[in-house]
């Protein structure tokens, strides 16, 4: 299966190029960056420190997708939506790890997924997806007696906040407790903001240095506390997850899937 990568020169791009080159059954057929990016024209293999492979980075996704079966997209929501439009027209599959979608943008992704198979996941790591499952179980057992707070840490270049993973963790807990996440998420406490409400889910963000990504969900009861934490030590496991999603997506019908589907956890 021929794979193209968009966002090729980004922090995830190099890891994705390496992961596709190492993956069984996948060939890297193209790599794309934004027009004007200094790495356009550079060989993708050289960019990923994997040696020359004869795949130059282009700035034209539509032309690059002609030779590809599937697109791996780690960019930003507005870019991803444009990429989905191109892939839907060409009938190509998409695996996107972009984060920061508004509910309206997520709906738009869903519309494109009526035409092509799409995996969209704010976190492609197997460990984080295991955490989603554990959170569901913990929320089921602990119920409304425990206050839920989520803290996430990321590097100082991250653009969206809180992370897509933290939001998904909040959604999983809220859905299990039959709450509407958008109603109960509390992103801000400052000054005389009053006591914590029973249903709220606190969302706290730390930004600094080169932290790849850390998430902790606290279930805080009277006299005891449970913490479910995930710490990412490198970006390679996100890239391996994206490769796994490509291998899984092959042969699937159009639709919107996530890593829980890919890993058989749903």
Is 158 catalytic? The answer is: yes
Q: Is 73 in the site for ligand NAD (CB under 6 A)?
A: no
Q: Is 257 in the site for ligand NAD (CB under 6 A)?
A: no
Angle at CA of residue 140, ends 136 and 145, nearest 5°: 120
**Closest-CA residue to 240 (of 32, 23, 68, 13):** 23
Nearer to ligand NAD, 32 or 93 (CB): 32
Asked if residues 206 and 216 have their Cβ atoms less than 8 Å apart, the reply is: no
Question: Token pair 């960056």 is at which residue?
Answer: 33
37, 66, 92, 154: which one is catalytic?
Answer: 154
The binding track of 12-31 with respect to ligand NAD, each residue x by CB under 6 A or -, is: xx------------------
What distance in Å separates the CA atoms of residue 135 and residue 119, rounded to the nearest whole number? 22
- For ligand NAD (CB under 6 A), the number of binding residues is 24
Residues constituting the chain = 266
Q: Which residues contact 152 (CB under 8 A, 6 or more apart)?
A: 162, 163, 165, 166, 204, 205, 206, 213, 214, 215, 216
Q: Is 124 in the site for ligand NAD (CB under 6 A)?
A: yes
Q: Identify which range of 10-18, 47-55, 181-189, 222-230 contacts ligand NAD by CB under 6 A.
A: 10-18
Q: Is 122 in the site for ligand NAD (CB under 6 A)?
A: yes
Footprint of ligand NAD on residues 212-251 (CB under 6 A)?
A: 238
Nearer to ligand NAD, 173 or 239 (CB): 239
Side-chain half-sphere CA neighbours of 195 within 13 A: 4
CB atoms within 10 A of CB 10: 18
> What ranges in 159-256 are assigned the alpha helix state H?
164-176, 181-184, 236-249
Nearer to ligand NAD, 13 or 170 (CB): 13
CB-nearest residue to ligand NAD: 10
| Residue among 3, 7, 71, 132 that touches ligand NAD (CB under 6 A) | 7
Q: Identify which range of 111-119, 121-129, 167-175, 184-192 contacts ligand NAD by CB under 6 A.
A: 121-129
Is 188 catalytic? The answer is: no
Q: Is 149 in the site for ligand NAD (CB under 6 A)?
A: no
Asked if residues 75 and 84 have their Cβ atoms less than 8 Å apart, the reply is: no
Binding site for ligand NAD (CB under 6 A): 6-7, 9-13, 32-34, 37, 74-76, 79, 97-100, 121-124, 238
Residues classed as catalytic? 154, 158
């Amino acid at each position: 299966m021929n794979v193209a990568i968009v966002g090729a020169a980004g922090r995830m791009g190099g890891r994705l190029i390496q992961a596709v080159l190492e993956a069984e059954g996948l060939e890297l057929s193209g790599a794309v960056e934004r027009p004007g990016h200094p790495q356009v024209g550079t060989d993708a293999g050289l960019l990923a420190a994997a040696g020359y492979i004869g795949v130059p980075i282009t700035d034209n996704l539509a032309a690059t997708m002609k030779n590809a079966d599937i697109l791996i997209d780690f960019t930003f929501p507005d870019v991803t939506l444009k990429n989905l439009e191109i892939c839907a027209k060409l009938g190509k599959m998409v695996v996107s790890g972009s984060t920061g979608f508004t509910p309206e943008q997520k709906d738009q992704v869903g519309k494109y997924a009526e035409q092509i198979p799409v995996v969209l996941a704010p976190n492609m790591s197997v460990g984080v997806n295991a955490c989603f499952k554990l959170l569901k179980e913990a929320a089921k057992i602990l119920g409304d007696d425990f206050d839920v707070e989520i803290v996430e840490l990321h590097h100082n270049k991250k653009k969206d906040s809180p992370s897509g993973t933290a939001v998904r963790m909040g959604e999983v807990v809220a859905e299990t407790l039959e709450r509407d996440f958008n109603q109960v998420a509390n992103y801000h406490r400052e000054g005389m903001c009053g006591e914590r409400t029973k249903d709220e889910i606190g969302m706290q963000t730390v930004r600094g240095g080169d932290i790849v990504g850390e998430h902790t969900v606290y279930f805080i009861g009277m006299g005891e506390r449970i913490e479910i934490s995930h710490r990412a030590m490198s970006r390679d496991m996100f890239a391996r997850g994206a490769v796994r999603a490509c291998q899984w997506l092959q042969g699937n019908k159009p639709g919107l899937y996530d890593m829980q589907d890919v890993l058989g956890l749903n």
